[in-house]
Structure 1
Amino acid sequence: MHRAMKRYIRAIDRMNRWLGRMTMYLVFVLMGVLLWSSFSKSFLAPAAWTLETAQFVMVAYYVLGGPYSIQLGSNVRMDLFYGDWSPRTKAWVDAVTIFFLLYYLVILFLGAVSSTAYSLGYFGSDPFVFFGDLFATFLTDGLSGAREKIGFLERSPTAWRPQIWPIKVVLCVGVLLMILQCIAEFFRDLERLSGGEPDAA
């Protein structure tokens, strides 16, 4: 069991470390969009796409960087108490409180999946069945068959009117990766409590 837990920790840490480091470069994309927005407003006709693009990039930066932030331990803690505790006490507290974070993330993930299904034109009450059917159709009938399953695509109510589903998919992926990283952190705490030290990825 310990070996399987260590393998899981290494695999999730490696994946989220790589994604987190790639996500950091979205700051430069965001800067470029905002610079163009300022330039176009000053010297050209204002671009309709810059504000929402900046918002979408910021959402991707925040959500996809979340798992790496959890891995680094840079999420918010009450260091007034936490900083003076022993590593074993920290592991105990983390192993218990991680369930509160997991509960929140699971609820967030369910809402994100439901919202993503809505943005693809599904108005029913079981989005997982919709996505399972969509995936099965894609495997059997290809992209054209999957397109027939998709209904009215939700768009932003702004002048630019972009489709909303891509950023909602990013939200689903980011929250799912945060859930997987939280499980890795729980396993890491169990390793520390059992007297071992989990391997670094």
Structure 2
Amino acid sequence: MNRFIGRITMYLIFALIGVLLWSSVSKTFFNPSLWTLEMAQFVMVAYYVLGGPYSIQLGSNVRMDLFYGEWSPRTKAWMDGITVLFLMFYLGVLLYGAVGSTAYSLGYFGTEPFSFFWDLLVTLVTEGSDAAGEKLGFLERSRSAWRPYIWPVKALLCFGVFLMLLQCLAEFFRDIARLRGVEV
């Protein structure tokens, strides 16, 4: 799944180029567009967050090769297995915060964002989209002049961090297999 999403995400760089090109053209020849800077930021978030798991899958993430490059494959597997646990802890904390922030952007101001999303899902399935829409509160908007809704970017962040956690889990199991002498 990360490969499929990552291959599609690669082309977001062209969307980013298009937005920034339009920004330059509109500032030079027309009235400046209000939406270009924020849209460029949103596209960059999607590019980074959805492309990260694919980058880890390919092994093209940045490593400090001062020592790592000289180690044996077994030592590399040990070190990768240990460091990926730290990364998974960090991503778990990030996902928890992202879910809370996404719930806030959908108008939930309580302390249980997961129960909010569960109730929203149950209501959507059992009662339909109108009833689920009534559970939403005041939707958060950006403070810029364009004022887009923030929840799509925050939901995308949750999805991307979840994919990154899955890819880290896969890498962890690959490291364990390498330590056991099984090549995956």
So what's the TM-score if we normalise by structure 1?
A: 0.90
User: What's the counterpart of residue 34 of structure 2?
Assistant: 48
Give the distance between the partners of 1:96 and 1:165, measured in 2 at CA.
Answer: 34
Greater shift, 26-35 or 89-98, is seen at: 89-98
Aligned with 1:122 (options 108, 111, 123): 108
Aligned with 1:111 (options 77, 91, 97): 97
More RCO (CA 8 Å, sep 6+): 1
Q: How is 1:153-164 mapped onto 2 (pairs within 5 angstroms)?
A: 153-164=139-150
- Aligned to 1:47, the other structure's residue is in SS state coil
Give the distance between the partners of 2:64 and 2:31, measured in 1 at CA.
Answer: 48
Give the distance between the partners of 1:171 and 1:119, measured in 2 at CA.
Answer: 13
User: What's the counterpart of residue 96 of structure 1?
Assistant: 82
User: What's the counterpart of residue 83 of structure 1?
Assistant: 69
Establish whether residue 181 from structure 1 lines up as the match of residue 147 from structure 2.
Answer: no
Deviation at 1:76, TM superposition (A): 2.3
* CA RMSD in angstroms, aligned pairs only: 0.7
User: What's the counterpart of residue 20 of structure 2?
Assistant: 34
So what's the TM-score if we normalise by structure 2?
A: 0.98
After TM superposition, which residue ranges in structure 1, 4 or more long, deviate above 2 angstroms?
Answer: none
Aligned with 1:134 (options 111, 117, 120): 120
Stretches of structure 2 that go unaligned for 5 or more consecutive residues are none
1:136-169 Cα offsets, whole Å, 9 max, x none, are 0000111111100000000000000000000000
